[in-house]
Each structure stands twice: as structure tokens, then as C-alpha cells.
Structure 1
Amino acid sequence: MSLPAALLSAIERHGCFSGCYRSDSEVLTCIDPTRPLEPVVSVACTDCLTFHPGALASLLPLGMTGNALAAALTAHVRTLRSYRWAAGGYHTKGGGFWLSAAYYGDGLFLVDASRNRSTRTDVEVLADAFRHGVLQPEDPRMVDPSLYTSELSYLNMHAPITNIRTKQDLLASPQRSATPRQSFQRVSIVEFQPLVAALASAPSTSTPAPSAPSTPAILSVPPTLRPAGTAPRSSAPPRPLTVGQLCPRCGSEVQERPLFTGTYLACRC
């Protein structure tokens, strides 16, 4: 049994960028005044904490819990937005901090740590998350904030931003703004420079266009060799042979030879 299409559509249109959810308190709701209350399995967005989608337990796969639903919805959004991983909410390690982050791969992140009441930057909180094991770094140097660059932007994630490989792809998207706008969410576009530089210097993997077939070389055929002192063959037509002469080609004598209904004068060739 799959998840309800209306539920998936609602989370796909939700604008918080990480797309991460956690389980919420179970709710009992009245669907029919003549029937008992029915359980609703609900979740909460870990970015804004105000979006609480859910579905009747009877519409979900049998036995699905809030944790299982949260994991399924998070995975759905992560795939839809082409993230390698995403994280959101409050993390208790390292003294505790708020962090929402998503990783496209090749050193490109979306990060927002503005909910923290501190002077630490988004990059510093991201590096702390790697340092304290909240997130697993792709490169061990990701714990060093000095190896990152960051640019503050605002994104509208009500529809997925697709085909993202580099920062320039995000900056060129119409769903990105350099200034605050309605329905756009604050986020830092962060690059881990060692991986970005490695990607830029990597050779292209595109397949080269097939080369046009070369024109075959015209071979120069040397003239037929002949013994020294022999005269070249004359191009004049040969003289007809008479009876008794030997043919220079087959060596046989020209004579009268039988046919089915007569005779003819010729050699054997």
C-alpha cells in the first residue's frame, strides 16, 4: 500500500528547503459522528515546526508509525530534490544547536542555522555538526570552517529546483533571489572548496564525437617489372595467325578443329 497522493503532493509543495520531518503526537479525529474517533498519524516539518501533515491510519500501510511516516516523507522529498542527504531540527550533541542542511554532493550545500541565538555563522555550525558526529563528512577536512565559502540567498522550494550540479546552477534559477521575497526562505549556498576545485579540474567525461571516416589513401601501383633488355608489350592489336603457326599465348598449333556441326580454325585458347 502506497502513501496517499494528496499527502505526497502537500509535502512536495511545502517551502522549507531541507524536506525533513519528525514524528508528531498521535491524534484522534472525528470523521463520522456515528463512529468512534479514528487515529491520525502525523509528522512535523523540522525546519519551520509549524507544518503538520498527516493521514488517517487506515489510509497508510498497515502498522505504519509516526517515525516510519516521517522517514518515508523525508526520503521522498530528498529524492525529489536530488539531495544526497538532508538534516533538520534541533541536535543535542555539541551543546545543542539548530541546523537545517542539504547536500547535493561535490561540496555543494544548502545551510540555515539562523534559529540559533549565537554569533556563529551557518558555515561554523555546519562544521560543528561534522565535528560532533551529527553529520558524517564526505571529506575529513569538512570540520574546518575556513575551507568553505558561503553566499546568502533566498529560495522558493514550492517546486523542486532540478539539475543542480554547481553553485551557478542555483544562482541562475528563477526560484532563487538575492534579497528577501514573499514565499522565499533564507538559506546560505555553501561550497566546500577542496571538492569544488577538484570537480572543476577533473577531465570532462563527455564522449567525444566520432571522427569522420578518413578517405582511403590511393595506392600507387608500380609498373610491372620486366627483365632488362625486353621490349614493352605493344598496344597494337595482334596479327591473325595462319594454319600451322604456334599461338604465342597457349603454345598450341593453329589448325582445323571440330565443332558440334562443323569445324573451325583456331588454337586451344
Structure 2
Amino acid sequence: MSGKDRQKQLAREHYERQNQRRIEREARAKRNAIIGTSVAVVVVVGGVIAATTLLGGNGTSSATAASATPTTPANPSQTSTAAQPTAFDPAGGTCGYVADTAGGPAKNVGLPPAKVDTTPKTMTLKTNQGDIVIEVSAEKTPCTVNSFAFLAKKKYFNGSKCHRLGSDQFPVLQCGDPLAKADGKSQTDGRGGPGYRFVNENLKDAKYTRGVVAMANSGADTNGSQFFIVYGNAQLGPDYTPFGKVTKGLEIIDKVNKGGVITPGPDGTGAPKETVEIKDVTMSSKS
């Protein structure tokens, strides 16, 4: 092989490696840039503008075009000058919640108590479609469960509607935005929260299989009140706190899924035709 032929071969191999890396990056981004809340960010990559949130509210204002990763924080509250939430401290039995300074729409109810109860619990979502019972892991996700117990006591979720139903590729029902209209028209569904945020938990080897309940977020440690229930097997990276498992009522989600969405976004997701309204949320110690 001549020197010129060798150079051509090396150039071709280099191009093939670059192309393979690009394909892998795009596939990874499509898997991970699915579930988000809060503020949309405009990102310019390769001359293409993509409006992204990690698990956005609905198909029109969310992560439907998220094939790129932002290079700047998706949430102003994640900057180094803002107060940061802290993980569970076993010695003191406390979690550190902080105000969300991103400026998104919120139903403010104050901050959860720092002191956490880690005894096993069951959370029941009383909906217009029936009860959905979730066994939550206060031991593995103490800050998350403590937040839900606080919000349930404040009647925070009462009257809220699950605003986003997934697709075959993204089998989840997303709830927890107290301001969502879930009418297939609202451009702000999925941006509401409680006015505070807390840390990610239980991410090691996290899997999002049928029945798993996990937190939606807009980046690391930006958890608020939005969550999603998986009714299939969602191929997501370990970026969303899995804090419970449905033990009763999963057939309700299946029924809602069969009904489809009102106005599908580019990713096939949208507000469900079968409205799911949360009437009340209760948290009880597991018997």
C-alpha cells in the first residue's frame, strides 16, 4: 500500500469513527432528554435551535426536539450563587430543601420540614378514575417521600390533572403540576411546581419498568412536585428519582393510555383524552 493510499484509509477510518460517535450521542440524547419540568431552554447546536426541557410538560412545549444537550444550566437556580439542596443526613435525620429561584409558576405552600420520617409508607392517589396505590420507599428516598407527605397534608395536589400521556416509545403518565389545564392547548402545562426543590435520590442502577413511579425534573437536584407513572418499560437513563411502585390501580393508567392523547406533539405525547384528576393524596404508614 502506497503512502497516499494509507492516508486515504486512515482518513476514512477516522470519518467512520466520528460518524459512529455522532450516532451514539444522538441516540443517547434521545433516550435521556425526555422527562423534565419547569423552564424551556433555547439551545443552538450546529445552527439548529432546539427548545428543550428534560421531561417537559407536554408535546408542544417540552423535550420533543431534544436531540442536543444544553451547555448552560437549564435552570437559573442551579448556578453556583444560589442555595443548593442537601441530601439526607442519617445522623440528624434531615433533608435540605431550598426555594426554587427559577421564577416558574408555582403554588407556594412553604418548605417541607427538614426532619424526616423514614418508616415504610403507602401513598394513595384518589382520582376521578379510581384509586392508585403506591408503595413508596422512605428508606431509599427519604427527601422525596417527606416532600410528598408534606404536599399531601397541604392538599397541594387536590384538583390537579395529569397533563402528559406518553407513547409506545415513552410509556408514562406525568402528573403533579397543580396549575396544568391538561386540555391539549395550554403551553404552560408541565411548568408548575411547589416553589422549592430538592436532591435526586436512589439513582444507582435505576430502572423505569412497569409500575415504577419517579420524579420528573429539569436537571440534577431540581425535583419539585411533578412525577410520572410508568405503564410499560421506559428506556430512560438513571436521572429521575424512582421513589415507589404501583401496587393497585395500574389498570387505570392502561385505560387512559388506550384512550390516547388530545393533540399529539412531535414525540407522540400530549394531554390524555381520558382526564385523570387527582381528588386527594394521602400518605399512611405501611401496616
User: Could you say which TM-score interval applies, normalised by the shorter chain?
Assistant: under 0.3
Greater RCO structure (CA 8 Å; 6+ sep): 2
Structure number, greater radius of gyration? 1
Task: Name the TM-score, length of structure 1 as normaliser.
Answer: 0.25
Task: Name the TM-score, length of structure 2 as normaliser.
Answer: 0.24
